[in-house]
Amino acid sequence: MPFHESPDRYIEGGGLGLDLYREVAELPLVSPHGHIDVRLFSQPDARLEQPGRLFVASDHYVVRMLYSQGVPLEATRAEDRAVWQLLVDNADLFALTPSGLWLRETLAGVFGIHELTLDAYDAIEAQLASAEFAPLALLDRFAVDCLATTDPAGAPLDDHQGLAPRIRPTFRPDAVVALDAPGWRGALAELGVAVGRELGDYESFLDALAERRAAFKALGATATDHAATSADTTRLANADAARLFALALAGQVSHGEARSFEAHMLNEFARMSLDDGLVMQLHIGSLRDHNVPLATRFGADLGADIPVATDWTRGLRPLLAACGNDPGFTLILFTLDESTYSRELAPIAGHYPAVLLGCPWWFHDSPLGIDRFLDRVVETAGIRNLAGFVDDARALTALPARHDLWRRRTCGWLARRVAGGFATEDEARRIAHELAYDLAKRAYRV
């Protein structure tokens, strides 16, 4: 039987696993964190990218695998049909990887394509040009309840007008707090334009961030998002933070001083979330653009973001001392460092009222990665201290496959717990619904 016709694929939980899956398979999708371009929904004539760009060039999972096997990066930026041919010629590289799984599920489930061939290019391109594949039409087809984009602090947000509550922005201020980043001055200038004034000192900077958070919230935002290599949240005295900001304006801030400022600002953003109620997401433990020569030539997001060891227990302590005991604050933690699941993250979420655990991120949002996550955190943190599933998708067409895989794997995992005597069937049915839908809606307040 072809894989796409096998109803129990990826479940591995026997008959009960399939039964649980059938009860949650058709639930609406909640996508509270991702990177889909809002202009797809605000511009009436917007269409998805061509097949080569959609499935290869804009997918860092695919690009990194091709590059690891000697395919020059220039080849992924060639004429679109040639990029598709590159995928066809190298399809065997993705055997037993989540990238290969998502690819075949998306082709079969969204486009009705069951074989990766050059001829499939024309069929996909024709569908992408049709009214049925207009972005808003796909939201309806996929039964998407809510979709959140991720937007810089200085984003004008014009394209978000009129789209809430179904489509919401997410406040992402990383570019304006990395004082030593090459693009910091440009990002700060954009923030200044957004608030209509020059930001010449630390106090005006804080005021501008609070003002922008309010603007995001007015357009339906329920969350902020912050990425850093370290989980350090040590707070500085205001005078010290102001001094570092002034050094950055003068072009004199050091790498260490910039990291201290970032840690301080994570603490400051938690305080702001106490004030305005926005859920705070932390994506920690990725050393981004590890391949410096490649990033210098071609830019960011090429699949060279590599996990690093993370000290959550010491790093988060200052932030949690200030805000972690307040049930009105929500902090959702994501990591690339799986070693911290049972050692640090589950105990933290199992204690602090404010903390929820995000699902596996990037390299670990895979069939076995989902199992490892549940195995290592549920006994200590329980189910209700999880934030449900976020797809982190960059391509709209990837949404069904990502959510479906999560639902299949969690239902199989639950069925195996029932078979082992750890849960009853009634408990498994309730938890399957929570993992598929309820937890994400609650965590992100949508």
Tokens of 92: 């065997």
Q: Are residues 300 and 175 in the same domain?
A: yes
- Kindly state the average pLDDT of the residues 155-166: 97
- Tell me the pLDDT tens digit for each residue of 256-296: 999 999 999 999 999 999 999 999 999 999 999 899 998 88
Q: Are residues 266 and 411 in the same domain?
A: yes
Q: Are residues 42 and 55 in the same domain?
A: no
Q: Are residues 61 and 106 in the same domain?
A: yes
For residues 288 and 241, the model is more confident at: 241
Q: Are residues 111 and 151 in the same domain?
A: no
- Kindly state the average pLDDT of the residues 208-225: 98
Q: Are residues 113 and 217 in the same domain?
A: no
Q: Are residues 283 and 206 in the same domain?
A: yes
pLDDT at position 412? 98
- Mark which of 88, 107, 133 sits at the end of a domain: 133
pLDDT at position 205? 98
Q: Are residues 211 and 87 in the same domain?
A: no
- Tell me the pLDDT tens digit for each residue of 328-375: 999 999 999 999 999 999 999 999 999 999 999 988 999 999 999 999
Q: Are residues 365 and 336 in the same domain?
A: yes
For residues 299 and 31, the model is more confident at: 31
Q: Are residues 109 and 239 in the same domain?
A: no
Q: Strand, coil or helix: what is 50?
A: coil
In this model, does residue 217 exceed pLDDT 60?
yes
Give the residue numbers spanning the domain of 120: 48-133
In this model, does residue 104 exceed pLDDT 70?
yes
Could you tell me the pTM of the whole model?
Answer: 0.97
Nearest to 396 by CA among 195, 140, 203: 140
> What count of other Cβ atoms lies within 10 Å of the Cβ of residue 169?
26
Q: Are residues 158 and 225 in the same domain?
A: yes
What percentage of the chain exceeds 90 in pLDDT? 94
- Kindly state the average pLDDT of the residues 375-392: 98
Q: Are residues 254 and 335 in the same domain?
A: yes
For residues 202 and 295, the model is more confident at: 202
In this model, does residue 4 exceed pLDDT 70?
no
Q: What is the CATH number of the domain that holds 217?
A: 3.20.20.140
- φ/ψ of residue 220, rounded to 5: 105, -5
- Kindly state the average pLDDT of the residues 65-81: 96
- Tell me the pLDDT tens digit for each residue of 301-324: 888 889 999 999 999 999 999 999
- Tell me the pLDDT tens digit for each residue of 385-425: 999 999 999 999 999 999 999 999 999 999 999 999 999 99
Average pLDDT value for the chain: 96
Question: Chain-centre distance of CA 444, in angstroms?
Answer: 13
Among the residues of 250-366, which ranges form H helices? 255-276, 292-298, 312-315, 317-319, 340, 346-349
- φ/ψ of residue 227, rounded to 5: -120, 140
Report the domain count for the chain: 2
Nearest to 443 by CA among 27, 31, 165, 166: 31
pLDDT at position 29? 98
Q: Which of 65-69, 145-149, 292-296, 401-405 has the lowest mean pLDDT?
A: 292-296
Whether the CB-CB separation of 86 and 57 falls below 8 Å is answered with: no
- Mark which of 133, 153, 180 sits at the end of a domain: 133
The Cα-based distances of 70 to 55, 75, 104 in angstroms read 19, 11, 23
- Mark which of 101, 133, 165 sits at the end of a domain: 133
pLDDT at position 301? 81
